[in-house]
A and B are shown apart, each in its own frame.
Chain A
Amino acid sequence: MTDIQNQTNKAGWPTNGANKILAKRHRTERNFRRLGLTAILIAMALLATLLVSIVGKGYSAFIQTTITLDINFEQEILDPKDTRSPETLKAASYGSVIRNALRTEFPEVKSRIELRRLFGLISKGAVQELRNAVLANPKLIGTTRVFELTASDDVDMFIKGYISRDVVEQDRRIKNNEIVWIDRLQNQNAIQTRFNTRFFTGGDSREPEVAGILGAMVGSLYTLFITFIISFPIGVMSAIYLEEFAPKNKLTDVIEVNINNLAAVPSIVFGLLGVALFLNVAHLPRSAPLVGGLTLALMTLPTIIIAARASIRAVPGSIRNAALGLGASKQQAVFHHVLPLSLPGILTGTIIGLSQALGETAPLLMIGMVAFIVDIPGGVTDPATVLPVQIFLWADSPERAFVEKTSGAIMVLLSFLVFMNAAAVLLRKKFEQRW
């Protein structure tokens, strides 16, 4: 009795005894808030570390070193018979032209070993650059022009400062004589750094300086397109049927449990299923976005079904009743009212499912999308690779220059993901209805 009397006086205001409890309650509340804040700060710090490290390593992937040379498009080398036919121009030895230009630039270099090093300053991809220029404008033949050529990956790394002059020569990819040449070129302002357009317009390559990500981006787009057109209609239809039309019985319970389980199945298992089903049984082309998309559709389907069911269930029953009470058929009630109202949620779920699919690697390795593919795929049956697999391939490459490419590709993939998630948020905002 006395305890109770101690805690409250007549008016019900807390007395000393109760104040202690109150103070304790305030304290735990403050502590809980601090813990929450700490958790968020830790998460943000980790995210910032990730971003800083990727951007720090990867920003230089968007920069390309070039070497400017006086190129003499000699008639004798390129088109000795003066035909100007595209076949001749395509097959001509542009390498000799470049080598001649380097010889004129550095007349003192004579020995074969040194010459090979000298020629190594220019990327092997530069041949392609000259060929394209001549094919576009055959009048170049017979003239001498100043030309910017892509530097080799080692020069690129040296200019970007990833190769230090202080390292002992035998441990250094750029030798002392090369440094002398590079310094001389730099003094002549012949070495420039440019925005690396090739990174966004080219396919993969063994040469890091000419390797681009467009092939993987196009492959990813085709793959996602297949995933979307397969998984979205099937997923939404299944969700509508299960939520609105299917009787609630043992069978639908089993189906529901299985869908939830499927969503948790490791993606590599879906990859194996894709191999068994689409490659071994259906004999679809290996390494193609078609098969990749179908496999990822299997994986995305449960996500879409679960999200769509949740947002269909969130539509108030009163809306269904209103439509049915006016004499709408069940199907009309669903398609006129329930579906439009649940669409924002369904779209959000679909985009989240698709961005999962965009970042998925393991199942695509199983169906052979890990191959080295230089060409940009022209359709869903062409061999292709996708962004995350491209990252995997580059991360696995020994050349130093692929490190920045890897981070660059990660940045591209992340910006795709951010873009898709932002689209999900915007769609939800735009179509959200009040009631």
Chain B
Amino acid sequence: MEPIISAKNVSVYYGKKQALKGVNLDIPENQITALIGPSGCGKSTFLRCLNRMNDTIEGCRVEGDIIVDGKDIYDPQIDEVYLRARVGMVFQKPNPFPKSIYDNVAYAPRIHGLARNKDELDNMVLASLEKAGLLAEVQDRLHEIGTSLSGGQQQRLCIARALAAQPDIILMDEPCSALDPIATAKVEELIEELRASYTIIIVTHSMQQAARISQQTAFFHLGEIVEVGKTEQVFTSPQDSRTQGYITGRFG
């Protein structure tokens, strides 16, 4: 099967410091790919390359090719704004806009002109909240401020907000690191459900989480991919001693 994302020899520099050193990674469609590794290994940097969020960081330079759906996303003709609508992102800390729940979810359809009228917009908002498993909890208070929700609900609101932009790919940067175990379980459940319709790439510090939800795992270390393969295989019989050491908790 043709991978939906294909990174070839990607290097990233922050000023003079090199954060990624020639990374190659193929990401298959409708699967969950987990990026693991110790802090500062470049996994978040790599994730942020995939929707060109690194462009917003001063002094950041990306080399190499990243092909998403057959197109080189660093081609000057590609509009990064359009790219980010197709490649959604969920951040480490829940960051709903300090606006109503409805306006949070409706924001992307509004700026991209996805809905032709109010009814369509309403439907999109409700469908996105439904997909994010939040609808039942917030149905009666769509016009309350988004930041009034609990942490886990906020994170699912952020996922709903990303879904409303109608992306094919969703990037998640440690989406559960600020949540308690119960909220984490709910978000994980949600991520697994979303796999049917979306390709998901998730950065996580939790080995268990990577093992539970992902089909492919890539282990990053010092700006390089040390090992990549089927999750089962990486966790049960790692090829590299560094991977072995990291997943068993001996370093990192």
Q: Which residues of A are interface residues toward B (Cβ below 8 A)? A: 247-248, 316, 318-330, 332, 336-337, 341, 433-435
Would you give the shortest CB distance from B171 to chain A, in whole angstroms?
8
In the complex the two chains form, is A247's CB within 8 Å of B58's CB? yes
Contacts of A332 in B (CB 8 A): 111
Within 8 Å of chain A (Cβ to Cβ): is B251?
no
7 pairs of A and B residues whose beta carbons are closest in the complex? A327-B85, A318-B95, A325-B89, A327-B84, A433-B98, A326-B108, A322-B95
Contacts of A321 in B (CB 8 A): 53, 56, 89, 91, 95
Binary per-residue interface labels of chain B (99-122) against chain A in the complex, 1 for a CB within 8 Å, 0 otherwise:
000000001100110000000000
In the complex the two chains form, is A326's CB within 8 Å of B145's CB? no
Contacts of B88 in A (CB 8 A): 325-326
In the complex the two chains form, is B165's CB within 8 Å of A326's CB? yes
Contacts of B89 in A (CB 8 A): 321, 325
Contacts of A433 in B (CB 8 A): 98
Would you give the shortest CB distance from A66 to chain B, in whole angstroms?
59
Contacts of A316 in B (CB 8 A): 95
In terms of DSSP, what is the predominant structure of the interface of chain B?
Answer: helix
In the complex the two chains form, is A325's CB within 8 Å of B84's CB? yes
Within 8 Å of chain A (Cβ to Cβ): is B158?
yes
Given known A-B contacts A327-B82, A327-B84, A434-B145, A322 and B108 have beta carbons under 8 A apart: no
Supplied contacts A327-B85, A341-B98, 12 more A-B pairs, CB within 8 Å: A318-B91, A319-B98, A321-B56, A321-B89, A322-B95, A322-B96, A325-B89, A326-B88, A327-B84, A327-B108, A327-B112, A328-B81
* 12 pairs, A vs B, C-beta closer than 8 Å: A318-B95, A320-B56, A321-B95, A324-B84, A325-B162, A327-B83, A327-B108, A327-B111, A328-B81, A330-B56, A336-B111, A341-B98
In the complex the two chains form, is B147's CB within 8 Å of A435's CB? yes
The total of Cβ contacts below 8 Å across the A-B interface reads 67
In the complex the two chains form, is B58's CB within 8 Å of A326's CB? no
Contacts of B58 in A (CB 8 A): 247-248
In the complex the two chains form, is B56's CB within 8 Å of A324's CB? yes
Contacts of A320 in B (CB 8 A): 56
Given known A-B contacts A247-B58, A434-B98, A326 and B53 have beta carbons under 8 A apart: no
Contacts of A318 in B (CB 8 A): 91, 93, 95
Count the B residues whose beta carbon is within 8 Å of the partner chain — how many? 27
In the complex the two chains form, is A326's CB within 8 Å of B91's CB? no
Contacts of A336 in B (CB 8 A): 107, 111
In the complex the two chains form, is B95's CB within 8 Å of A328's CB? no
Would you give the shortest CB distance from B80 to chain A, in whole angstroms?
9
Contacts of B31 in A (CB 8 A): none
Cross-chain contact of B53 among A248, A325, A329, A330 (Cβ < 8 A): A325
Cross-chain contact of A325 among B91, B98, B111, B147 (Cβ < 8 A): B91
Interface centre among B111, B145, B162 (most CB of A within 10 A): B111
Interface centre among A319, A330, A435 (most CB of B within 10 A): A435
In the complex the two chains form, is B162's CB within 8 Å of A326's CB? yes
Within 8 Å of chain A (Cβ to Cβ): is B199?
no
Determine the distance from Cα of A330 to Cα of B91 in the docked complex, in whole angstroms. 18
Contacts of A323 in B (CB 8 A): 97, 107
In the complex the two chains form, is A324's CB within 8 Å of B85's CB? no
Would you give the shortest CB distance from B158 to chain A, in whole angstroms?
7
Cross-chain contact of A319 among B51, B81, B97, B108 (Cβ < 8 A): B97
Determine the distance from Cα of A227 to Cα of B111 in the docked complex, in whole angstroms. 35
Cross-chain contact of A434 among B83, B111, B147 (Cβ < 8 A): B147
Would you give the shortest CB distance from B60 to chain A, in whole angstroms?
13
Would you give the shortest CB distance from B153 to chain A, in whole angstroms?
15
Would you give the shortest CB distance from A341 to chain B, in whole angstroms?
7
In the complex the two chains form, is B107's CB within 8 Å of A326's CB? yes
Within 8 Å of chain A (Cβ to Cβ): is B161?
yes
Given known A-B contacts A321-B91, A434-B147, A326 and B111 have beta carbons under 8 A apart: yes
Contacts of B161 in A (CB 8 A): 322, 326
Cross-chain contact of A324 among B53, B82, B93 (Cβ < 8 A): B53
Would you give the shortest CB distance from A259 to chain B, in whole angstroms?
20
In the complex the two chains form, is B93's CB within 8 Å of A326's CB? no
Determine the distance from Cα of A97 to Cα of B58 in the docked complex, in whole angstroms. 82
Given known A-B contacts A322-B158, A325-B84, A328-B81, A337 and B97 have beta carbons under 8 A apart: yes
